[in-house]
Structure 1
């Protein structure tokens, strides 16, 4: 199995090529929406990932599935790109290519990705508060949230932006209190 770094290096040129096509046709946001849907499909279906990764599945079968996923109204450029990945036997790294594309799109739009971990789902108002805090921390124009639920943090949130981590969770506060008490 290849390492994540090696996969990222292979995926990067494909993501840059897709971004180039998107920019030249003024479709960066449309591609971004379609790619988020593809990532959701891949994330929710181990069968789909296994199908694309299986070297014994014929290329024609993979192309038929790509055409089925893209549907009649799917973007022709994106469909052709996916079919090219099948032909080049790179469809198994589609998830990495999609993630790289979204990263390039965030750079283009001066958007920061913030991973937010909370004990319970955040309301729209709470998400907006987190976005404002991240904007203040990073001076970004926009903030995209990747929210996850982890009941073990008890309450509060943990916000990760790049290498910065803001731990405002109850578990984190208890850990810091424990360290202070044991250090006394």
Structure 2
């Protein structure tokens, strides 16, 4: 089983625990804090990723770190289980999967937009409105500039890619001409 699928299972379990306890927003905030702290600290990143450190030792060290960070008992117990299972290296994937599951439940989907130039405020609003109508969900837009695009844009919503770039239109025109 891939690491991404394993991480998603752990994230689902944490979400179910949060649902039972009624503290999903608190768990998400704490998980954000823990993931950011690990990403910002090279020693913690090495500890989490190292296959040389025994899982029980990782669990002890991570438990001490979480206790000093005043993280809830629920999240501390969750990470003890994850660490003892030898899956602490999946922390970033668990964090990302948990956020995706919370967003999915709230009907929020991320749209990744690549364009040659920055979109104006009006263009961004129009794109969000169009995608919201098309998907029936709330859209969270993330944008990046892609110098390889001559014009137009590419939008990825989930696994669907909408190519409205100049290269995409030229590729489509070429296909039509070759098939004619």
TM over 0.5: yes
Number of matched residues?
179
The counterpart of 1:9, out of the listed 5, 10, 15, is 5
TM-score using structure 2 length: 0.73
Q: Which residue of 1 aligns with 2:106?
A: 109
CA deviations 1:153-178 (Å, max 9, x no partner) are 13332111234322122332333344
Q: Which residue of 1 aligns with 2:160?
A: 164
Listed as ranges, the gaps of 5+ residues in structure 2 are none
CA contact (8 A) 1:154 1:171 kept: yes
Q: 1:167 to 1:42 in 2, by over 3 A?
A: farther
The counterpart of 1:175, out of the listed 164, 168, 171, is 171
> How many Å apart are 1:107 and its aligned residue?
2.4
Q: Distance in 1 between matches of 2:64 and 2:152?
A: 44
Listed as ranges, the gaps of 5+ residues in structure 1 are none
CA contact (8 A) 1:11 1:100 kept: yes
CA contact (8 A) 1:116 1:159 kept: yes
Counterpart mapping for 1:33-182 below 5 A: 33-36=29-32, 49-58=45-54, 59-60=56-57, 63-64=60-61, 68=65, 72-122=69-119, 125-140=122-137, 142-180=138-176
1:158 partner SS:
strand
CA contact (8 A) 2:59 2:84 kept: no
CA deviations 1:109-139 (Å, max 9, x no partner) are 1222322223345455544333222111111
Q: Distance in 1 between matches of 2:155 and 2:39?
A: 22
TM-score using structure 1 length: 0.72
Q: 1:11 to 1:156 in 2, by over 3 A?
A: same
Q: Which residue of 1 aligns with 2:15?
A: 19
Give the structure with higher Rg (CA): 2
CA deviations 1:62-110 (Å, max 9, x no partner) are 6535754786344442233223311221101223322322232122112
> How many Å apart are 1:40 and its aligned residue?
5.8
Q: 1:155 to 1:28 in 2, by over 3 A?
A: farther
